[in-house]
Amino acid sequence: MTRDRGQMTLVAFMQASNVSVYSGSWRYPSAAPDFLDLRYYQRIARVLEEGTFDLMFFDDRLAMPSIYGGSPDEAVRYGARPVKLDLMAVLGAAAAATSHLGLGATYSTTYYPPFHVARSFATLDHLSGGRAAWNVVTSVNDAEARNFGVDQHLGHDARYDRAEEFIDVVTRLWDSWEDDALVMDRESGIFADPEKVHELAHAGAYFDVQGPLTVPRPPQGRPPIIQAGQSGRGMAFAARWADLIFTADPSREIALEHYRAQKQLVAEEGRDPQAVRVLPMAYTVVGETEAIAREKEEIFLDRLVHPTASLALLSEVTNHDFSGHALDDVVTDELIDSVSGIRGLVQGVRRHVGAQQLTLRTLANHRATLLQGPRFVGTGAQVADQMEEWFRSEACDGFVLAATHFPGAFEDVVRMVVPELRRRGVFRDEYTGTTLREHLGLDRPTSVFARSEVGVDA
Amino acid sequence: MTRDRGQMTLVAFMQASNVSVYSGSWRYPSAAPDFLDLRYYQRIARVLEEGTFDLMFFDDRLAMPSIYGGSPDEAVRYGARPVKLDLMAVLGAAAAATSHLGLGATYSTTYYPPFHVARSFATLDHLSGGRAAWNVVTSVNDAEARNFGVDQHLGHDARYDRAEEFIDVVTRLWDSWEDDALVMDRESGIFADPEKVHELAHAGAYFDVQGPLTVPRPPQGRPPIIQAGQSGRGMAFAARWADLIFTADPSREIALEHYRAQKQLVAEEGRDPQAVRVLPMAYTVVGETEAIAREKEEIFLDRLVHPTASLALLSEVTNHDFSGHALDDVVTDELIDSVSGIRGLVQGVRRHVGAQQLTLRTLANHRATLLQGPRFVGTGAQVADQMEEWFRSEACDGFVLAATHFPGAFEDVVRMVVPELRRRGVFRDEYTGTTLREHLGLDRPTSVFARSEVGVDA
């Protein structure tokens, strides 16, 4: 990889609520409380556009956490992400307040049909002038299944098989109007050229979709795809489909290896590894001085998350109900063996706390704040140093920045870190294009239907 | 019905495209072409808010017309409504441009699950400050079924049974957070009161939904429901659930009878007939002089709709493929007997054209322009006269106004008709509330969960 990697990609990780991925965020003293008002999202979007971010993208989840104690009570009580608004209305409002910022949303391939997903993102892409992105998730959660009358979610591989077919259908629905299909000639009365608007007549293992889509081809052709698979199948899936790959790497050493392996998989799929961005999630805590940043980090780490909220979220992540345990119970080898997915987390936390006996409280608290990604703390220059080191050493192509609170965490980055990154030449001074694909330097794909016609003529 | 009926309710019937329910609208000389840009919808919304309309609501359809010739080709070619954008993104942008106008969307109870519908409208209601409305449709179209991998749509009664359960689940999801559930006390760390956030644990004939919704209770409690059922079961369904009933009555005489019958059904459901608005669809063609209005009507009636587009839409409405017929084929008794639902249309058109032999061309053209509702043509005062007559005689509580073209048809109403209606005291001078329920004078319903608690205490 000797060719120029270009500049860093910066993505803001959003929630359609006042609770960020860090569940103490709503209690942060300067957090904005008006998350049910569209101006809350417009304000954040404008800040990110001021900072020439590539993209803000919204997480989603179609149920409250309810593994802990078998009910959503503790998630509700302590704000462990019980609120998730519908994203398209939020993004329509955000699109209206901005002109360049990419706008991404998480949509599940399990709980939406492909026709809706194709139509929603094609619409958002038009309304925003080419700024939509789709974060593909396959959904694994029992609580979500129960909100949709599905008793058992699909197994891991079946979910990915379904997701592959889903994305294939969605991209062909986006392609179903060729780029020049819309004519709108008032004189002749020809609205569009039926030779250039195609039915799919898709009949697959999971979906039957006739098409065409009721929306002309999106300005980006196909809105970029974001994906966060960490498993073997997930990494292969991301290598095949994703434009932005969202990772959770606890250290730069792990990230370096992950980055190399993921780019290798992209190359094996016959795609250009440079065109696919690998972006670890990271927290930033930025202060006017290092002391301010350290003090903010203390608030973030210790004072705002109720330990029961952390344990409820740990229950959710591990699919294990910890309500029968006390917070000061020691994490035993037996527990580690019996709870799937907890081993990596324990190892990560041990790196921070040393060899001492680990309690559930410590484990849950670290899970709530660490999020298996790096934490960059300091002045603008200090945070930029760390981000630059990750970027230049090829541990990443940029970052998905999580917020300790909204909107202050992003305001701090935009006002103190972004100018430093620009000074170092690792981040854009201004937008040079208007679509998200242009920000990312990605080609605009041709419609598969247009391609096949070219094939016939050649 | 001697008590004061209040003022007229005015609703704008919108499409998320530049083709109104009248499929020649995109060819209208002053029609705006930029229907893929969010500013198109914001502009129209602002005009309607200037005219203190109660509501703009968007039609939807999850497929292109494709009965005619078994393909969407003619619908695509002539603009017979081949485009339908996703509505939530459009409405998010419209909400951002307005502060009082109600914002309605059509969502099918067949092709969406209730959790999504509840979440979308609860979100829109919050973001807009209490201005959302849901137009409930049960979907009957084969083309839609084929985009969702459903081979056969449900029978008429089964669709209504499913819709009843669907609305029941949606309203209880809206109720699942009581009004004062959200606490957000930073000091104590209590985000919300779990005693006031309820699971539904709904297990019904069609849906299993656990809940709670991931959105606090909407500002309106429950966004108003719009419904357009004309059949016996449809009228009963509307009487039970709808706040706004959208009708298609070809004459005032028919409307008077329909109005009376529908209000009777509302009373039989134990609801206040005054609180349910019956609103016929109507076209307005308004000119600075009567001659201008008549000339505009000529454009509308004769010059813009391609007869094949009309026949394609007639095919869609009757579920009969007319592509084997010539436009000048006479409509025979045999044809009337063999095509379901065409008899009423033929009778309606005969009222306009007299006893002459009716051709398919004439029938299709009238269907394309008449839309089984009245057409009010003239100066602002003349149009206001006709609207006032319908309203005062209790043929309606107001109108769902269809547009000959966007945005001009609504601009003409706002600038020439609305001032006349205000002068006559039949329409508001200004908004007196901010929510749609306030515009409609509707009470805000209590959450069923709060009600049952009151019952326990009493």
- Tens of pLDDT, residue by residue over B239-262, are 999 999 999 888 899 999 999 999
Size of interface A-B (CB pairs under 8 A): 253
Backbone phi, then psi, for B330, in 5-degree steps?
A: -80, 140
Range list of β-strands (E), A63-189: 102-108, 132-137, 182-185
Superfamily of domain A9-300+371-457: Luciferase-like domain (3.20.20.30)
- Does residue B153 register a pLDDT over 70? no
- Does residue B457 register a pLDDT over 60? no
Mean of per-residue pLDDT scores for chain B: 91
Range list of β-strands (E), A92-193: 102-108, 132-137, 182-185, 190-192
- Does residue A309 register a pLDDT over 60? yes
d(CA A187, CA A181): 17
Q: Which candidate, B109, B103, B108, places its Cα nearest to that of B89?
A: B103
Q: What is the CATH number assigned to the segment(s) B9-304+372-457?
A: 3.20.20.30
Mean pLDDT of B100-111: 96
Q: Is B417 left (phi over 0), alpha (psi -120 to 50) or beta?
A: alpha
Instruction: Determine, for residues B76 and A192 on separate chains, whether the beta-carbon distance falls below 8 Å.
Output: yes
Mean pLDDT of B15-23: 88
| 299-338 of B, contacting A, C-beta below 8 A | 304, 306
Q: Report yes or no: B316 and B65 within 8 Å, Cβ to Cβ.
A: yes
How many CA atoms, within 13 angstroms, populate the side-chain half-sphere of residue B1? Answer: 16
Beta bridge partners of A246: A279
d(CA A46, CA B442): 37
Would you give the distance in Å from CA A395 to the centre of its chain? Answer: 18
d(CA B87, CA B106): 8
- Does residue B355 register a pLDDT over 50? yes
Rounded-to-10 torsion of CA B39, B41, B45, B48: 120
d(CA B71, CA B284): 33
| 1-30 of B, contacting A, C-beta below 8 A | 16, 18-19, 26-27, 29
User: Which residue among A18, A42, A91 places its CB closest to the CB of B89?
Assistant: A91
Mutate to test the interface with B, among A76, A169, A365, A449 (most CBs of B within 10 A): A76
d(CA B410, CA B308): 27
- Does residue B31 register a pLDDT over 80? yes
3-state secondary structure of A209: strand
d(CA B392, CA A72): 52
Using one digit for the tens of pLDDT, what is the confidence trace for B382-417?
999 999 999 999 999 999 999 999 999 999 999 999
d(CA B74, CA B58): 23
Q: Report yes or no: A48 and A217 within 8 Å, Cβ to Cβ.
A: no
The 3 state secondary structure assigned to B78-133 is HCCCCCCCCHHHHHHHHHHHCCCCEEEEEEECCCCCHHHHHHHHHHHHHHCCCCEE
- Does residue A458 register a pLDDT over 60? no
Neighbour tally for B233: CB within 10 Å: 15
Q: Which residues contact B358 (CB under 8 A, 6 or more apart)?
A: B330, B331, B346, B349, B350
Neighbour tally for B426: CB within 10 Å: 18
Instruction: Determine, for residues A95 and B93 on separate chains, whether the beta-carbon distance falls below 8 Å.
Output: yes
Mean of per-residue pLDDT scores for chain A: 91
Q: Which candidate, A197, A113, A120, places its Cα nearest to that of B64?
A: A197
Using one digit for the tens of pLDDT, what is the confidence trace for A161-196?
999 999 999 999 999 999 999 999 999 999 999 999
Q: Which candidate, B274, B265, B256, places its Cα nearest to that of B374?
A: B256
Using one digit for the tens of pLDDT, what is the confidence trace for A77-129?
999 999 999 999 999 999 999 999 999 999 999 999 999 999 999 999 999 99
Instruction: Determine, for residues B115 and A147 on separate chains, whether the beta-carbon distance falls below 8 Å.
Output: yes
Neighbour tally for B409: CB within 10 Å: 26
Collect all residues of chain A within an 8 Å Cβ-Cβ radius of residue B435: none
Amino acid A413: pLDDT? 98
| Strand A277-286 with A375-378, pairing | parallel
- Residue in chain A nearest B170 by alpha carbon: A147
Mean pLDDT of A20-26: 86
- Does residue A452 register a pLDDT over 80? no
| Strand A225-227 with A244-247, pairing | parallel
A296-299 long-range CB contacts below 8 Å, 24 or more apart? A296/A404, A297/A375, A297/A377, A299/A28, A299/A29
Range list of β-strands (E), B265-397: 277-286, 375-378
- Residue in chain A nearest B71 by alpha carbon: A199
Tokens 């459901």 -> residue: B269
Residue ranges per structural domain of chain B: 9-304+372-457
d(CA A249, CA A375): 11
Neighbour tally for A340: CB within 10 Å: 9
| 189-218 of B, contacting A, C-beta below 8 A | 189-194, 197, 199, 207-212, 214-216
Q: Which candidate, B141, B129, B134, places its Cα nearest to that of B173?
A: B134
d(CA A426, CA A393): 13
Helix (H) or strand (E) holding B157: helix B156-175
Q: Which candidate, B314, B414, B417, B327, places its Cα nearest to that of B372?
A: B314
Q: Which residues contact A242 (CB under 8 A, 6 or more apart)?
A: A136, A225, A226, A227, A276
Amino acid A355: pLDDT? 67
Amino acid B370: pLDDT? 60
d(CA B389, CA B392): 5
Using one digit for the tens of pLDDT, what is the confidence trace for B38-88?
999 999 999 999 999 999 999 999 999 999 999 999 999 999 999 999 999
3-state secondary structure of A102: strand
Collect all residues of chain A within an 8 Å Cβ-Cβ radius of residue B151: 208
Amino acid B124: pLDDT? 98
